[in-house]
Structure 1
Amino acid sequence: MLVLDKHGRPLQPCTPARARTLLGAGRAVVHRHTPFVVRLKDRTIEQSTIQGAEVGIDPGSKATGIAMFTAKEGNRAGLFAIEVRHRGGQIRDKLTARAGRRRGRRSRNLRYRAPRFTNRARPTGWLAPSLRHRVETTMSWVTRLLRWAPITRLHVERVAFDTQLLQDPNVSGVAYQSGELAGYEIREYLLEKWKRRCAYCQATNVPLNSDHIEPRSRGGSDRVSNLTLACIPCNQEKGSLPVEVFLTDRPAVLARIRRQAKAPLRDAAAATSTRWALWSALTGTGLPVRVATGGRTKWNRHRTGAPKTHTLDAMHVGELASMMRWPSTTMVATSAGRGSYSRARTDRYGFPRLRLPRTKRVHGFATGDLVRAVVPTGVKRGTHTGRVAVRSTGRFNIRTSAGLIQGIDHRHVRLLQRADGWAYTRRPEPARA
């Protein structure tokens, strides 16, 4: 659990049992419900011994893993883990839809605002809104952890950075290509690009080999664009046959493989586009930032026997001697936004079809607030905790872990935490393999 002193400054995190003891004895109060943060009433940072903690970050296109841990001589022990799920895809789709509506209005000669200036230029370091969202949401959670925990160092996975080159700046040629991480980067890329399944028969959960689409014996190169994944039977059956001959009776499969081999990996492209912006933002915190590659992370996981998750990847970023333990549960924070300024819903052509109220709060509550409702009587009797959806009638809907409870009177509802643009759930973390 995250702990603050009486003045709101971060102390060393404690166990849940210790937090319950402090709350039961009246020595602490709840500072924040989710993530759970307590504030001591009788202790300051000067009266405490602080070991410090470090944060590992595994940036991703759809989700980013953030893990906080203690580290002593390379031996790590997990304290807190969160999986941040982005909505960059939703932002991209909405911008595409908006551009389509504007294009339609221009082509149909309808009312359209003319451009206000023609010298539009993108500044240096510009990122598309969907990509900038990934950087900003990751930095938002890093900034929060800096407020709630004594962070001393940051570790981030920067895809294009090679730790082998860092260890030996003079490495080159064959020695560079045959180091201890050889093959990890390329194989991880292929697993993501081909969805961890055989390209020829779509088999999953089976051993997969790297296969040359155009065989090397027939002039095929070792470029990653000529590599795919194949299960052992397909790999042996194909052998050195040209892919056109091997798939003569399956033209649809051949067309799919050709198309997928040429297409860039969108998630990898998003991570590549944002890695420098994220690294620059992290260095702006003033803390030392250590970088590593995805190959190093995967190599660390194989040595410790950890399964593949975003948060466990974050726990294994960088130089690691051993992993003593990691959190048994992970908090999942899904970016839900804070609503919109729009006062109308539009139809498929972009014209208003439904007017919305100007005030977002009803009886002091807003949609997305974390609340607890205690209903004394009736068919909805009981205690319901979850996110509220307000209605102007005063009868709210509450989405709990058990489902949606409709029509709860506002008089039974008590506020736990204001909406902060995130939806929170928890999931168990897999045990060591």
Structure 2
Amino acid sequence: MLSSGKAAVYRRYPFTIVLKRVVEKPEVQPLRLKLDPGSKTTGIALVNDANDKVIFAAELSHRGQTIKASLDRRRALRRGRRQRKTRYRKSRWQNRRRKPGWLPTSLESRLANILTWVRRLCQYASIVALSQELVKFDPQLLDNPDIAGIEYQQGKLAGYEVRAFLLEKWNRTCAYCGKQDIPLQVEHIQARANGGTNRASNLTLACQPCNKAKDTFPIEVFLANKPEVLTRLLAQAKRPLKDAAAVNATRYALLERLQAVGLPVECGTGGLTKYNRTQRGLPKSHWLDAACVGKRTPEVLHVKGVVPLLMTATGHGSRQMCRVDRYGFPRGRAKQAKKVSGFQTGDMIKAVVTSGKKVGTYVGRVAVRSTGSFNLTTEQGTIQGIRSRFCQPVHRSDGYGYRYGASFPLPQEGTPLSSPRLKGQGAPEAEVR
């Protein structure tokens, strides 16, 4: 359609075309948008419930840690400034009030990224329903198994959330020998025979030989000849649930904002997502987890040939008028014009250089200069001194970086695609809101 002139490129990322002629009865099939929110990366998948195909897949990388680091630097500069001999300025922090439902900036950024792409995809495709992984871990339940009634404790997902949490915490690796891609078992660091509990901080993962060899020995005795492994294991066992806390703090806020879009929202848990993925023999990845969110996951998912779009939130630049040194004093001049010759920093361009020392074709992100001599960042490196007359736009800056990931691997005979499974099985249940 593009070569015949019936359509034109509307957007490069995600690649979208627009028809140049009116179609009386277009064949448009309803799609379901599935989301697997994460602390660092969110999986996105568009699934056609009619033919069980994954139409589009993406992985959205957030910039929450970058925002937090920037705020930490700003706070350090302000604290240092208060210690100088400068004029007195009245305190303003007592006049600040937080609105109901306030979230830290790093968490608000995650919600804004997800909602931005929900709205964009709703413009490009006929989405009629949403699916969201509402909760991945429940730290209260992990630390206190008696917090809920007997029906919940003996439900079909009993223990499944704990196993999913341990797989994430210990990176699907045996804590004692470091082996991966093997069946793993839940192991008590301090054996229950010696007074150990079922708290998440006392649980780890071990392969069957290591689990059998440890038996009821104290961890200090079992790893007496491996002091570095003992130190790492004890430190990782006390690792804070920072990523889980970020997801839990934003899950219901995301649900409320998705409901405001006006589409029905189906909710499921992380244990249900893992159950769906393992039952369908799919490998572990963010976009495949998104495709398996919710109870309305097809029995057979057609994912052959799907290439996920890897999107990284980069922001829309800095509000600083000029850069400062480590003491907080300006070290440059104020910002110049944002656009030069119709380009701005962050645009993806194609430069066809026909003269000079840099003859060739380059594609990448541009950093503009008021002189008209741009820097172009490509996969091979940074090319400096590209004149604006050689540049043509490919994709305008929209706050995100794009690249394509590896296509879905085709299964080989005798090669299982599912991730290592723990002891125990369970059938899932979903929650619909």
Same fold (TM over 0.5): yes
Which of 213, 219, 223 is the matching residue for 1:237? 213
Cα deviation for residue 246 of structure 1 reads: 2.8
Paired residues of 1:161 and 1:291 also in contact (CA < 8 A): no
Structure 1: gaps spanning 5 or more residues = 1-21, 163-171
- The range that moved more, 248-257 or 287-296, is 248-257
Which of 385, 393, 397 is the matching residue for 1:415? 393
Aligned residue in 2 for 1:314 = 290
Aligned residue in 1 for 2:72 = 96
Between the aligned partners of 2:227 and 2:97, the Cα distance in structure 1 is 45
Aligned residue in 2 for 1:8 = none
Which of 180, 187, 191 is the matching residue for 2:163? 187
Cα deviation for residue 28 of structure 1 reads: 1.4
Task: Say if 2:18 is the partner of 1:42.
Answer: no
Which of 394, 402, 406 is the matching residue for 1:428? 406
Task: Say if 2:384 is the partner of 1:406.
Answer: yes
Aligned residue in 2 for 1:165 = none
Query: Letter of the aligned partner of 1:325 in structure 2?
Result: H
Aligned residue in 1 for 2:47 = 69
Cα deviation for residue 239 of structure 1 reads: 1.0
Aligned residue in 2 for 1:14 = none
Deviations along 1:252-272, one digit per CA (max 9) or x if unpaired, are 544543443233221111111
Task: Say if 2:310 is the partner of 1:332.
Answer: yes
Between the aligned partners of 2:6 and 2:231, the Cα distance in structure 1 is 67
Between the aligned partners of 1:112 and 1:249, the Cα distance in structure 2 is 61
Aligned residue in 2 for 1:53 = 31
1:90-169, aligned counterparts within 5 Å?
A: 90-110=66-86, 113-116=89-92, 118-159=94-135
Cα deviation for residue 217 of structure 1 reads: 1.0
SS of the residue aligned with 1:325?
coil
Cα deviation for residue 201 of structure 1 reads: 4.1
Deviations along 1:190-240, one digit per CA (max 9) or x if unpaired, are 121123323334444444321112211122111212111223343222211
Cα deviation for residue 23 of structure 1 reads: 1.4
Deviations along 1:176-196, one digit per CA (max 9) or x if unpaired, are 334443433111211211233
Task: Say if 2:321 is the partner of 1:369.
Answer: no
- The range that moved more, 97-106 or 376-385, is 376-385
Query: Letter of the aligned partner of 2:408 in structure 1?
Result: P
Between the aligned partners of 2:294 and 2:72, the Cα distance in structure 1 is 37
SS of the residue aligned with 1:354?
coil
Between the aligned partners of 2:283 and 2:361, the Cα distance in structure 1 is 36
Paired residues of 1:156 and 1:291 also in contact (CA < 8 A): yes
When residues 178 and 346 of structure 1 are mapped into structure 2, their CA distance, relative to the original with a 3 A threshold, is same
- Normalising by structure 1, report the TM-score: 0.85
Structure 2: gaps spanning 5 or more residues = 139-147, 412-416, 418-433
Paired residues of 1:105 and 1:112 also in contact (CA < 8 A): no
Paired residues of 1:372 and 1:386 also in contact (CA < 8 A): yes
Aligned residue in 2 for 1:10 = none
Between the aligned partners of 2:151 and 2:407, the Cα distance in structure 1 is 38
When residues 268 and 429 of structure 1 are mapped into structure 2, their CA distance, relative to the original with a 3 A threshold, is farther
Between the aligned partners of 1:261 and 1:100, the Cα distance in structure 2 is 31
Aligned residue in 1 for 2:327 = 349
Query: Letter of the aligned partner of 1:296 in structure 2?
Result: L
- The range that moved more, 398-407 or 409-418, is 398-407
Aligned residue in 2 for 1:27 = 6
Cα deviation for residue 39 of structure 1 reads: 1.1
Give the aligned length: 400
Between the aligned partners of 1:226 and 1:85, the Cα distance in structure 2 is 31
Paired residues of 2:346 and 2:365 also in contact (CA < 8 A): yes
- Normalising by structure 2, report the TM-score: 0.85
Cα deviation for residue 275 of structure 1 reads: 0.5
Aligned residue in 2 for 1:7 = none
For the aligned residues, what is the CA RMSD? 2.4
Between the aligned partners of 1:112 and 1:202, the Cα distance in structure 2 is 58
The answer to which structure has the higher strand fraction is: 1
Cα deviation for residue 71 of structure 1 reads: 0.3
Aligned residue in 2 for 1:305 = 281
Aligned residue in 2 for 1:360 = 338
Cα deviation for residue 175 of structure 1 reads: 5.4
Paired residues of 2:350 and 2:391 also in contact (CA < 8 A): yes
Cα deviation for residue 119 of structure 1 reads: 4.5
Aligned residue in 2 for 1:388 = 366
Paired residues of 2:136 and 2:244 also in contact (CA < 8 A): no
Which of 313, 316, 323 is the matching residue for 2:300? 323
Deviations along 1:116-158, one digit per CA (max 9) or x if unpaired, are 2515343221111001100110100001001111100000001
Aligned residue in 2 for 1:288 = 264
Between the aligned partners of 1:107 and 1:232, the Cα distance in structure 2 is 59
Cα deviation for residue 109 of structure 1 reads: 4.9
Paired residues of 2:368 and 2:374 also in contact (CA < 8 A): yes
Between the aligned partners of 2:185 and 2:102, the Cα distance in structure 1 is 39
Between the aligned partners of 1:429 and 1:296, the Cα distance in structure 2 is 25
Between the aligned partners of 2:386 and 2:95, the Cα distance in structure 1 is 54
When residues 349 and 235 of structure 1 are mapped into structure 2, their CA distance, relative to the original with a 3 A threshold, is farther
